[in-house]
Structure 1
């Protein structure tokens, strides 16, 4: 059974930065910069050889930041990520095997869905909070509105193509409780180690969310 709510986890800053980190030091500095800008959670994706090391380092060195893992595709990754200190779990997909391994941890979790069939599978497992990914390629706001008309009990966190420019469109949909994205951590800014710029971009995003009255 799901014992923790993802929407509760992100209610004070309902934006989930998606971090593809190639350096442990960068992961720590980026996390500090995000938190300084008002973002309290960050998802480090399993797309680099040092991803688990990054999760462990942020968990230990930036305890004020709630760090989780993304791009989970199999149960072993779930185990390894929890062992590294991941405090929430995100997957781009949904299978019964993967979802059950995530549920067993008791941590907040978001499986990825894009279709009515996947949403039905999620509900059969007791999951009512999902990641809608890749959002832009699957119709974005309009698709979520259509799905919500049938699956009114489901809450969405769209990721993929979400930006400061269109964030308000997503938050205008009642079934959307948060958004995910990487626009506040551009690769060139990370490469130049301009942590203050990341803080500014984070603060800008949080300021807009507050204007939309979406922060608890």
Structure 2
């Protein structure tokens, strides 16, 4: 059954955004995150191993909701679905991609950076968006100003967010969760340091506004 994007984003305060170079690390990474209390993962499609990692996570760790990030082109949608991804994230707002994902039944979290883009997304029937790159686009102050004029929209800010500043975003009424690499750093994944991932995930899972 397909989950709505907003339902996925309310599973916890943080979605780990991870880059995986070796697909075989995917299931162990997912288990470590779940042990720390995180049940959603975004695997960026920046390496050849990404979709194989998603496929392995879905097969071996069914309790983890696994999606892909950096979806740029509609022609990648069949591969994403074949890997078992349950949602996709794009860095920006591409209405052709929005339509293609909707037709394919793939929940999409598209990125926006400006109020104009947020309005265009809203007009296209979207109510849940990624705010990217969050830190360089005004941070919590920008989202705070967007809230009164577009009160029905909810956001997952991503980009430059760490453990220390996540609470500033999570305190806002229009923020459902944040995305970031801090629950599972690329270095920890590369070293297969699942103890460190569990600890970082546990700290992230306890964050709130």
How far off its partner does 1:191 sit? 2.1
Q: Which residue of 1 aligns with 2:105?
A: 106
Secondary structure (helix, strand or coil) at the match of 2:21 reads: coil
What CA deviation, in whole Å up to 9, does each residue of 1:114-170 have, x standing for no partner?
112211211111001000011001111011112222111110100011111111110
Structure 2 regions of 5+ residues with no counterpart?
A: none
Q: Which residue of 2 aligns with 1:153?
A: 152
Is 1:76 matched up with 2:75? yes
Secondary structure (helix, strand or coil) at the match of 2:179 reads: strand
| Contact residue 52 and residue 81 of structure 1 kept, 8 A | yes
Where do 1:22-171 residues align within 5 Å? 22-171=21-170
| Contact residue 42 and residue 68 of structure 1 kept, 8 A | yes
Q: Which residue of 1 aligns with 2:8?
A: 9
Structure 1 regions of 5+ residues with no counterpart?
A: none
How far off its partner does 1:4 sit? 4.5
Secondary structure (helix, strand or coil) at the match of 2:204 reads: helix
Secondary structure (helix, strand or coil) at the match of 1:208 reads: coil
Runs of 4+ in 1 over 6 A off after TM superposition: none
| Contact residue 21 and residue 48 of structure 1 kept, 8 A | yes
Question: Which of 124-133 and 25-34 deviates more?
Answer: 25-34
| Contact residue 20 and residue 186 of structure 2 kept, 8 A | no
Q: When the two structures are aligned, how many residues end up with a matched partner? A: 208
| Contact residue 45 and residue 69 of structure 2 kept, 8 A | yes
RMSD of aligned residue pairs (Cα, Å): 1.4
Q: Which residue of 2 aligns with 1:194?
A: 193
Secondary structure (helix, strand or coil) at the match of 2:47 reads: coil
Distance (Å, rounded) in 1 between the aligned partners of 2:113 and 2:9: 22
Q: TM-score, structure 1 length as denominator?
A: 0.91
Secondary structure (helix, strand or coil) at the match of 2:43 reads: strand
Q: TM-score, structure 2 length as denominator?
A: 0.94
What CA deviation, in whole Å up to 9, does each residue of 1:69-121 have, x standing for no partner?
11011101222101110001111011110111122233432100011221121
Distance (Å, rounded) in 2 between the aligned partners of 1:10 and 1:96: 21
| Contact residue 113 and residue 131 of structure 1 kept, 8 A | yes
| Contact residue 45 and residue 70 of structure 1 kept, 8 A | yes
How far off its partner does 1:172 sit? 1.1
